[in-house]
Amino acid sequence: MTHIKLAPNVEFRMDINLDNITENSRDYDVQQHKVEIIKEFEKRLSQVFPEGFKIDSMDFGLDKQH
């Protein structure tokens, strides 16, 4: 078996319902839901990478380009 370590700088979109967040909210407002967002992101990643993963840092805000 081959073990691979990959450290990309990745940007992605994720649809998630957050209380009191609308398309007019600020990134700061979204960042107040950090725990919920990271939990959902890690849940999705664990389905794709059951072997495991590590996240060193994470920045997030609203996607204004949709």
Residue 66 is predicted with a pLDDT of 59
pLDDT of residue 3: 78
* pLDDT the model gives residue 44: 93
Q: Are 58 and 30 in contact (CB under 8 A)?
A: no
Predicted confidence (pLDDT) per residue in 4-63, tens digit: 777 777 778 888 999 998 888 888 898 899 899 989 989 999 999 999 888 888 787 777
Amino acid 65: pLDDT: 72
Which residues lie below 8 Å from residue 37, measured CB to CB, with a gap of 6+?
A: 14, 16, 18, 30, 60
What is the pTM (predicted TM-score) of this model?
Answer: 0.73
